[in-house]
Chain A
Amino acid sequence: MTPREAVAAVVDPELRVVTIDELGILRDVETDEHGHVTVTITPTYTGCPAMDVIRADIGAALRAAGHGDHEVRTIFAPAWTTDWISAGGRDKLAAAGVAPPGPSGGPVALSIGVRCTHCGSPDTEQLSRFGSTACKALWRCRACGEPFDAMKAY
């Protein structure tokens, strides 16, 4: 397994259905002529507590694939945006009950047409802009009455 394949398969510790590659957290994997691997990641939110776990999981994945000589760099620019979540990642989020984000547009993009992850109805309302993790908001479906998480466009 190449270093890139090993790291790309690491799952997000809080959204365990998607990988850090699909989320856009993984920015680069480089291997120099001595076999030293440099992984570059960027956090979703500045205070995201999952970053330490992600760094540890990347290290474990590389060691398991036989690439013990590695380092993990964290960069902040360009700033992460939900626009970097892949199409496949969006589908997986939706299937796991987290409504995927719309286009980020501005600093606080109004989420248009968030569909209920239970019944698919577009008749939904936001209960709170802040959810169980920094990247999610809490929504409710007016059709089936169930609450659900939606990833904030960011």
Chain B
Amino acid sequence: MAIIEVENLTKEYRLGAMQGIKQTLLNTATRLAGKKVEERPLFKALDDVSFSVAQGEVVGIIGHNGAGKSTLLKILAKISTPTRGSVKVNGRIAPLIEVGAGFVPEFTGRENVYLNGAILGMSRQEIDQKFDEIVDFAEMAEFIDTPVKRYSSGMQVKLAFAVATSIESEILIVDEVLAVGDIAFQRKCLGRMESFMKNEGRTVLIVGHNIRQLERICTRMILLKHGRIECDGEPGKASKQFLDETTLKPEHVIENKGILPHFDSGDIEVLSVEIITDEYKEGTPVIALFADMHIRIRVRAHQVFNEVEMNFGLHNPEMVFISKSSTSLLGQSTSFVDGENVIDILVKKIALCAGTYGIGFAMYDWSRRPLWGGNGIVWFTVEAPSDYISRLPPSTQSYMPALWAINQRQSEAITYAPALPATQSSGFTS
């Protein structure tokens, strides 16, 4: 049975500034005189959205900024009313839309728990019962009688989250709250959400930008784009479509505007960073999934450096490092001559999900004094044929270049792209 039923939901906003009382009166007069008034243009935040959610489903709603995610949640939480269409909700809703709404800074944590609980629709008796549990979950026993204005923002959110999730509601609406608190608390929150879903069968609607996290906890995902449902289905499918759009969109690919270091001692100059490939798409080098990648970095040292340490890593557009490598494990010293030096790096069998990645590179001298370092100094795209992706399990950032042996018959499963010619590979140390 559907617990939430959304039909042809449309929400329009008028663009432009609110009219003053004078303009309104003038417009009314013009209208009364039978003339047409110049209407401000409409903006469709949601455009004919229909879906239904069954009890126990955990639905992630993703999309770019302005895609209509928050508007949708606000309408479901009855904060805003739709322009057209209908929303039917069978059950109590606990909205966690920016938790901590209504926290009064002057009040102590205890007072705020009662206030916030009442605002969220809990009775005093209910809060009394849950009070210890709330404080315990938020790890705030020590500070509960301190005014909230002395709390750090993380502490406030912890307390707010604890209050909001203690409501016994059939439906939970969550808007990007999991992006707060430290890692330990985030994990705790996720744990709590998961127990809601699995043990208590509660229905959860969650909006967020952390796609990987959502992928993990959702049973279904809705991708919104310009107020319309673009994809509605398995988490992996919707998130992949979203990530593909994000990462492969030409304007999103970060232009190679020269090499901008994070730190630069001035002792070494990076002349060029190059990914050696024949294939380019919109100016970005393309590497096929499971192909080898060859990077050549040319630097000019202004003196001789013995025992240089170099680190090299790959990160995604959200600046999360996926993989790293360092010369410190080479077991032999690396040194630069005074003048130009060429560094060749070969990464065998790139096993990253299709998408855009940046290269980070850093150099240190023998005392680990930073010489030069930068992220996103060059970007490339990993591409894979679509039938490949559909056959590979979703929800990870990388694949394992594993070798399989079934009944002792060893075979190399991943033979998609031929390796670089042996001559080119020689001279690399790993």
Q: Are both chains from one complex?
A: no
